[in-house]
A and B are shown apart, each in its own frame.
Chain A
Amino acid sequence: MKIGVYVCHCGVNISNTVDVQKVISEVSALPTVAVCRDYQYMCSDPGQEMIAKDIRELGLDRVVVAACSPRMHEPTFRGAVEAAGMNPYCFEMANIREQCSWVHEDKEQATRKAADLVKSSVARAALLEPLNSTEVPVTHAALVIGGGIAGIQTALDIANSGYPVYLVEKDPSIGGHMAQFDKTFPTLDCAACILTPKMVDVARHPNIELLTYSEVESIEGSVGNFHVRIRKKPRYVNVSLCTGCGSCATACRLVGRIPSEFDMGLGKRGAIYVPFPQAVPLRYTIDPEKCLMLKHGKCGTSPKCVDACDRDAIDFSMTEEILEVDVGAIVVATGYKEFDPTIKREYKYGTFKNVMTGLELERIFAPSGPTGGKALINGKVPKKIVFVSCVGSRDKRIGNPYCSRVCCMYIAKQAHLLKEKIPDADITVMYTDMRAFGKGYEEFYERVQKEGIKYRRGNAAEVYEEDGVLHVRAEDTLMGEPYELEADLVVLGTGLEPSDAADAIGHMLHLSRSADKFFLEAHPKLRPVDTVIDGVFLAGAAQGPKDIPDTVAQASGAASHVVNLLSKDVILAEPIVAEVNTDVCAGCRICEILCPYDAHAFDEERNVMTINKAICKGCGSCAAACPSGAIAMNHFRDSQIVAQILEVI
């Protein structure tokens, strides 16, 4: 066995605390070590070349690099040894930076520990086995979950690259929250003007199959080959006959009686409805919870919608359908929901009608909204308006410690729009910190102040009512004085939380969540659109609160990763997976329960467990739990780990 060992200084990160020369002299004495060298930056080109040269000239069997965390540079060095003709799994890394030099001060002891760590890696390296990746074919299609702006952009980008996309949206129309907005900050673009053309593009795109009013039921398989079951909920309207003329909606006995979800309950709809006039597809849907016919089996003498529809599109016998599709990649774009401020009782949301949320106010501005775009709050034009920032954000008490990132700016925008509609309005924004970080945001913040919006640092403590008038109490923290303001309207700058759909989707795909409950990306800096599950990507607010430009950018990023994957005919599957020795397996099925990825399948015929290599992530849970040692983890075999441990004890 000829092992080459390479100790990195990491600039001075390691060599300041660890005596590299001493480590080299100790390690060189090991019988299996053929060569041991050090270098300032082992990850650099000359460093890699040093290793490659030794492999070629000395005919090394194994390589050990003692440097930083394998998370950082294992892929780098695996690539380097492979280029020099060695199997990449014959490479082993000792972490003497994060696990040694960065956490110790005593140079002598740190040096001893570094030497021990390297020696134990050498012991393990001697037992490493060459592994070969297997090829997995790729299905050239993608699934996008969520039809908001993130899903729309992702679907369009993938479809434009020539791959088929299934876009699944649980609501009757795509558009998401963006469709609810009137204007967008800081450019004051009309949201509908920039969004609706994209919605139409989606509907017309030959490569996109739009599945609205549908939910993902189950997902099986792994990167390159996912099998997805999609449940299409019955609309009770035949979409191929419906022209979206709306005669049915006007005729419905319940018209104007049911709070519209799209209008945040401020406007009313009937039992047969489209969420909003620009809906895509512009096809009607019957609400089964409300429709008299569907709930009680009768609607007067006969359902008025049926009478009104010239096309005979209404069909009460519709049932749900299950659609099964195969895709190679999945993008999760499940978006966000608005924080429900009811639990922040001091703000009296739900008690006083004139305390409303940001999203509710958004509908007031919309020309298609409940007031037709007029600034009317419960029938009156408000003159004194207070905005409260950080409601449901930066708040540990309610479990949302994060900043929601968009509230500062949507408050500025809404304050501007109110001022525009009510020039004599007295508008105050109570804020914690002003976060105007995006392009043009700071400028917009300045602009609204010039328009007469008062910004007072210090957030609202409470809202109370006296003689029918709302009052907001706060401290102006820049003056250090508590004060109170009367208000006809209090707008809560409610934050963002992951949408309800995230739970089920996350579960199906085994996605991790970060502490803020949004989906966890594979790396916060370098892999913000990937997840730890190969072939599953994130777009938009599903990954964390985002404004529209960031959402669109991430959506395109996710699309590019999908296209990158779909452009290959086969992909290589990671060989560090668990394997079952079927001669030893007793079929107790403990491993099956423990697998977080559902990679295990029981072979009833032979009474033994099998593991799908394409799904297995190599976490090792099953191997650790197997009582008879029938499961072995490639690259982390018991013998390899024991050798490593014995060397340090």
Chain B
Amino acid sequence: MDKTMDDIIREGNAYACIQCGRCTGSCPSGRECGLRTRKIIHMARVGIDVFKTEELWDCTTCFTCQERCPKEVKITDIIIELRNLAVKNSYYPSMADVPKIIIQNLYRTGNGQPLSPEVSKLRSIIGLDKEPNDIAKDKEALADFQKLLDGLPLMRWGGI
């Protein structure tokens, strides 16, 4: 169900944008870095390959811009879709190593953040089961989960 740039712009309602900048003004990340949500929407509309820009990965997806947009441009949704597009075109951000580890963990244990021996110990100290009663413990469920993940696009794009 791959989306093109045009799909993303249309579904995200980007043509309604009036470049008022309320989004950037609201952006908690943009205060600290070069992310300019307004500019991303502009670039997307004029046909620049905005998915190649690294600022795309500075967004914390807090949705404040999308909430405040007077024209109902789905700014955060667009940014997420553009990231998908970037991944599909192998434009990984330079610092994407940690996310990859998270994806590997997800595949291996069913959890992006797996259980460490230290925390396992802490769990028993406060009276919880040493291992949570979840997928990591249920080997059959984990095998199914891996089978599910094997057939999903993330494994194709995730660079694992």
Which residue numbers of A lie inside 8 Å of B, CB to CB?
346, 390, 394-398, 432-433, 457-462, 473-477, 480, 482
Interface residues of B in 35-73 (CB under 8 A from A): 36, 38-39, 68-72
- Nearest CB to that of A400 among chain B residues? B70
Asked if B20 lies at the interface with its beta carbon under 8 angstroms from chain A, I say: yes
Asked if B30 lies at the interface with its beta carbon under 8 angstroms from chain A, I say: yes
Asked if B93 lies at the interface with its beta carbon under 8 angstroms from chain A, I say: no
> Can you offer 30 A-B residue contacts whose CB atoms are under 8 A?
A394-B70, A395-B70, A395-B71, A396-B16, A396-B70, A397-B69, A432-B19, A432-B20, A458-B20, A458-B21, A458-B24, A458-B25, A458-B38, A459-B20, A460-B22, A461-B25, A461-B26, A461-B68, A462-B68, A474-B21, A474-B22, A474-B25, A475-B22, A475-B25, A475-B38, A476-B21, A477-B21, A482-B25, A482-B30, A482-B31
- Write the nearest CB–CB distance from B59 to chain A, whole angstroms: 14
Task: Determine if A433 and B21 form an interchain contact, defined as CB atoms under 8 angstroms apart.
Answer: no
What residues of chain B lie closer than 8 Å to A482, measured between beta carbons? 24-25, 27, 30-31
What residues of chain B lie closer than 8 Å to A475, measured between beta carbons? 21-25, 30, 36, 38
Asked if B155 lies at the interface with its beta carbon under 8 angstroms from chain A, I say: no
Q: Given A394-B70, A397-B72, verify A462-B21 contact (CB < 8 Å).
A: no
Max chain A Cβ within 10 angstroms of own Cβ: one of B23, B26, B38: B26
What residues of chain B lie closer than 8 Å to A474, measured between beta carbons? 21-22, 25
- Nearest CB to that of B24 among chain A residues? A475
Task: Determine if B69 and A477 form an interchain contact, defined as CB atoms under 8 angstroms apart.
Answer: no
What residues of chain A lie closer than 8 Å to B18, measured between beta carbons? 394, 432-433
What residues of chain B lie closer than 8 Å to A458, measured between beta carbons? 20-21, 24-25, 38
- Write the nearest CB–CB distance from A352 to chain B, whole angstroms: 18
What residues of chain B lie closer than 8 Å to A398, measured between beta carbons? 70
- Write the nearest CB–CB distance from A132 to chain B, whole angstroms: 51
Closest 5 CB pairs of A and B: A461-B25, A458-B21, A475-B24, A475-B21, A395-B70
Max chain B Cβ within 10 angstroms of own Cβ: one of A394, A396, A432, A475: A475
- Write the nearest CB–CB distance from B50 to chain A, whole angstroms: 14
Q: Secondary structure of the B side of the interface? A: loop
14 additional A-B residue pairs with CB within 8 Å, beyond A394-B70, A461-B21, A461-B22: A346-B26, A390-B70, A394-B18, A394-B71, A395-B71, A458-B25, A458-B38, A474-B21, A475-B25, A475-B30, A476-B21, A477-B20, A482-B25, A482-B31
What residues of chain A lie closer than 8 Å to B69, measured between beta carbons? 397
Number of A-B contacts (CB under 8 A): 71
- Write the nearest CB–CB distance from A434 to chain B, whole angstroms: 12
- Nearest CB to that of A456 among chain B residues? B21
Q: Which of B26, B36, B39, B72 contacts A473 (CB 8 A)?
A: B26
Report how far A344 CA is from B23 CA in the complex, Å: 14
- Write the nearest CB–CB distance from A392 to chain B, whole angstroms: 9
Q: Given A432-B18, A482-B31, verify A460-B70 contact (CB < 8 Å).
A: no
Task: Determine if A397 and B70 form an interchain contact, defined as CB atoms under 8 angstroms apart.
Answer: yes
What residues of chain B lie closer than 8 Å to A432, measured between beta carbons? 18-20
Task: Determine if A390 and B20 form an interchain contact, defined as CB atoms under 8 angstroms apart.
Answer: yes
- Nearest CB to that of B18 among chain A residues? A432
Report how far A62 CA is from B156 CA in the complex, Å: 71
Which residue numbers of B lie inside 8 Å of A, CB to CB?
16, 18-27, 30-31, 36, 38-39, 68-72
Report how far A195 CA is from B90 CA in the complex, Å: 67
- Nearest CB to that of B25 among chain A residues? A461
Report how far A460 CA is from B26 CA in the complex, Å: 9
Report how far A483 CA is from B118 CA in the complex, Å: 45
- Write the nearest CB–CB distance from A69 to chain B, whole angstroms: 28
Task: Determine if A462 and B20 form an interchain contact, defined as CB atoms under 8 angstroms apart.
Answer: no
- Nearest CB to that of A478 among chain B residues? B21
Report how far A477 CA is from B36 CA in the complex, Å: 9
- Write the nearest CB–CB distance from B75 to chain A, whole angstroms: 12
- Write the nearest CB–CB distance from B49 to chain A, whole angstroms: 19
Report how far A473 CA is from B27 CA in the complex, Å: 10
Task: Determine if B22 and A459 form an interchain contact, defined as CB atoms under 8 angstroms apart.
Answer: yes
What residues of chain B lie closer than 8 Å to A390, measured between beta carbons? 20, 70
Q: Given A346-B68, A394-B71, A396-B70, verify A480-B27 contact (CB < 8 Å).
A: no
Task: Determine if B39 and A480 form an interchain contact, defined as CB atoms under 8 angstroms apart.
Answer: yes
Task: Determine if B25 and A460 form an interchain contact, defined as CB atoms under 8 angstroms apart.
Answer: yes
Report how far A395 CA is from B18 CA in the complex, Å: 10
What residues of chain A lie closer than 8 Å to B39, measured between beta carbons? 480
Report how far A618 CA is from B24 CA in the complex, Å: 53
- Write the nearest CB–CB distance from A340 to chain B, whole angstroms: 16
- Nearest CB to that of B35 among chain A residues? A482
Report how far A458 CA is from B36 CA in the complex, Å: 12
What residues of chain A lie closer than 8 Å to B22, measured between beta carbons? 459-461, 474-475
Max chain B Cβ within 10 angstroms of own Cβ: one of A433, A474, A482: A482
What residues of chain A lie closer than 8 Å to B26, measured between beta carbons? 346, 461-462, 473
What residues of chain A lie closer than 8 Å to B19, measured between beta carbons? 432, 477
- Write the nearest CB–CB distance from A403 to chain B, whole angstroms: 10
Report how far A395 CA is from B16 CA in the complex, Å: 11
- Nearest CB to that of B70 among chain A residues? A395
- Write the nearest CB–CB distance from A486 to chain B, whole angstroms: 15
Report how far A458 CA is from B37 CA in the complex, Å: 13
- Write the nearest CB–CB distance from B16 to chain A, whole angstroms: 7
Report how far A432 CA is from B70 CA in the complex, Å: 11
Report how far A396 CA is from B74 CA in the complex, Å: 12
Report how far A397 CA is from B23 CA in the complex, Å: 14
- Write the nearest CB–CB distance from B6 to chain A, whole angstroms: 22
- Write the nearest CB–CB distance from A544 to chain B, whole angstroms: 19
Report how far A547 CA is from B1 CA in the complex, Å: 50
What residues of chain A lie closer than 8 Å to B30, measured between beta carbons? 475, 482
- Write the nearest CB–CB distance from B68 to chain A, whole angstroms: 6
Report how far A346 CA is from B67 CA in the complex, Å: 10
What residues of chain B lie closer than 8 Å to A433, measured between beta carbons? 18
- Write the nearest CB–CB distance from B78 to chain A, whole angstroms: 16
What residues of chain B lie closer than 8 Å to A462, measured between beta carbons? 25-26, 68
- Write the nearest CB–CB distance from B72 to chain A, whole angstroms: 5
What residues of chain A lie closer than 8 Å to B31, measured between beta carbons? 482
What residues of chain B lie closer than 8 Å to A460, measured between beta carbons? 22, 25
Report how far A394 CA is from B23 CA in the complex, Å: 15
What residues of chain A lie closer than 8 Å to B21, measured between beta carbons? 457-459, 461, 474-477
What residues of chain A lie closer than 8 Å to B70, measured between beta carbons? 390, 394-398
Report how far A397 CA is from B72 CA in the complex, Å: 6
- Nearest CB to that of B34 among chain A residues? A480
- Write the nearest CB–CB distance from B77 to chain A, whole angstroms: 15
Report how far A390 CA is from B18 CA in the complex, Å: 11
What residues of chain A lie closer than 8 Å to B24, measured between beta carbons? 458, 461, 475, 477, 480, 482
What residues of chain A lie closer than 8 Å to B23, measured between beta carbons? 461, 475
What residues of chain B lie closer than 8 Å to A480, measured between beta carbons? 24, 36, 39
Q: Which of A346, A395, A396, A477 contacts B38 (CB 8 A)?
A: A477
What residues of chain B lie closer than 8 Å to A477, measured between beta carbons? 19-21, 24, 38
